[in-house]
Amino acid sequence: MLALTPAVEVGGKKALRDRLFVSAVEHPSVRCGGRFAAEDLQELPVDKDGTLDLSALGQALSGSAWPLVSVMLANNETGVIQPIAEIAEIVHAANGLLHVDAVQGPGRIDCNIENLGADLMSLSSHKLGGPQGAGALIHRDDIRIADPLLKGGGQERGQRAGTENVAAISGFGAAAAIAGKTEVARLATLRDRIETGIKAIAPQAVIFGESVLRLPNTTLFAVPGMKAETAIIAFDLNGIAVSSGSACSSGKVQPTHVLAAMGVEPALAQGAVRVSLGWSTTERDVEKLLDALTNVSSSLLKRHTISGLAA
């Protein structure tokens, strides 16, 4: 919300951003448009794999004098990684600024703001294993948010008034210091093993975004005929915690806007289940997940078939 404002100074010069452009697969906190008016917000399409349509981005920006673009580094549901460096080139050629929601990236992929070519970048403590309630907005030295959300104090260089949550910030720093030491290759191996197992158990299963670069710790899949609302309960009864769509929407079982933007049929999207791996995930955990999937899919698909015959 702090970054998504028309009031962004560049090099000490005030030039209100006239439009905000976001991809159709952004997190709801970005899709809401921040402090831009609804009529000044435009969503941009993605392809079937969930990657931003770069041609559509270029065409959209041609109609804006001072655009602000917000695109996530990696999707929180599918794990699909966006071509941020290419996006940055297009945005800067249109005299725009690029904000990157990099919350899913640290410890898993490169999140260097200079390498990405971003102008502003958001991070969150709890996604690194740190405490909840702390985050960071990183920006180029010549950029300043001219209209802070919380006013009345000079804390945080005038960007956010109020006493800092020192304990949470310290925890955030500690988590960030070891984030790069996460066993990325190990997680990627476990993820690939899960996906191979899913296809062996249910050959008709669809793994979303599997043909493009993704985070090493995220898998979003669906088995035709298996609904997420019953699958999640069944997994839980088997001792496995998974979610439908993003983790922050846990408990809400409804078709995800991400899969809708990717053109996935509603019936299939309603069965999407997300598996997320972490530093403590073991090979035994993967075996338990696949054993649970065998039980869950056998039970639920049999019930679906019987129900279909009865209908």
Strand bridging mode 97-101 / 120-124: parallel
In 66-114, which ranges are E strands? 67-72, 97-101
Is 24 within 8 Å of 50 (Cβ atoms)?
Answer: no
Point out which residues pair with 144 in neighbouring strands.
9
Is 248 catalytic? The answer is yes
Is 74 within 8 Å of 244 (Cβ atoms)?
Answer: no
Q: Tokens for 41?
A: 């917000």
State whether the Cα torsion 110-113-116-118 is positive or negative.
positive
Distance CA 301, CA 94 (A): 50
Look up tokens 């948010």; give the residue.
Answer: 145
Is 199 within 8 Å of 205 (Cβ atoms)?
Answer: yes
167, 178, 248, 267: the active-site residue: 248
Active-site residues: which are they? 248
